[in-house]
């Protein structure tokens, strides 16, 4: 996959582009590990932020699962940037945030303890977002 190669580039801009592009394929098993590596990019937290945000904007279980998995093992610095991406992706519509919280709640019951832990942290982050627009 060409995006996987781009994700291993020495250029952080290329890796960020790869993260944005690969996020479209988050439901595919072969995209999961490269996406996790990009969310936890060792060299530039810009890659972390844009990849996490692209995954979260999918607003589906596949994207949330990868972000939750990353949160479970993220350094404090990476965690801060992932939480920034969470706020950026879900700060507008309360209904989108609430849907994501329901999906995270499902993920907290996953037998993989690491994933369940990350899903709880992601759910807490979502719960703390004061959205701009609420359903009537």
Domains of the chain, residue spans: 2-127
User: 70 with 38: CB under 8 angstroms?
Assistant: no
For residues 63-88, average pLDDT: 98
- Mean pLDDT for all residues in the chain: 96
Condensed to tens digits (0 to 9), the pLDDT of residues 7-30 reads 999 999 999 999 999 999 999 999
| Max Cα–Cα distance, the chain, nearest Å | 48
Output the pLDDT for position 2: 86
Question: Does pLDDT of 136 surpass 80?
Answer: no
User: 40 with 48: CB under 8 angstroms?
Assistant: yes
Cβ density class 11-48: b for 16+ within 10 Å, e for less: eeeebbbbbbbbbebbeeeebbebbebbbbbeeebebb
Q: Rounded to whole angstroms, how far apart are CA atoms 16 and 76?
A: 20
For residues 26-46, average pLDDT: 97
Output the pLDDT for position 121: 97
The distance from CA 56 to its chain's CA centroid, rounded to whole angstroms, is: 5
Question: Does pLDDT of 4 surpass 90?
Answer: no
For residues 58-78, average pLDDT: 98
Q: Rounded to whole angstroms, how far apart are CA atoms 93 and 5?
A: 35
**34 Cβ contact list (under 8 Å, min separation 6):** 1, 3, 4, 7, 18, 22
The label of the residue with tokens 């977002």 reads 129
Q: At what angle do helices 113-127 and 61-73 cross, to 10 degrees?
A: 100
């Amino acid at each position: 996959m060409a995006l996987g190669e781009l994700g291993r580039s020495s250029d952080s801009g290329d890796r960020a582009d790869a993260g944005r592009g690969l996020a479209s394929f988050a439901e595919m098993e072969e995209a999961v590990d490269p996406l996790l590596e990009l969310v936890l990019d060792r060299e530039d937290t810009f890659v972390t932020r844009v990849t996490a945000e692209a995954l979260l904007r999918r607003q589906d279980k596949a994207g949330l699962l990868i972000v939750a998995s990353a949160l479970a093992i993220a350094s404090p610095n990476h965690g801060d940037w992932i939480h920034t991406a969470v706020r950026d992706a879900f700060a507008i519509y309360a209904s989108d945030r609430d849907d994501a919280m329901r999906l995270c709640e499902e993920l907290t019951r996953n037998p993989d303890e690491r994933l369940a832990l990350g899903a709880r942290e992601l759910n807490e982050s979502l719960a703390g977002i004061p959205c701009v627009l609420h359903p009537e």
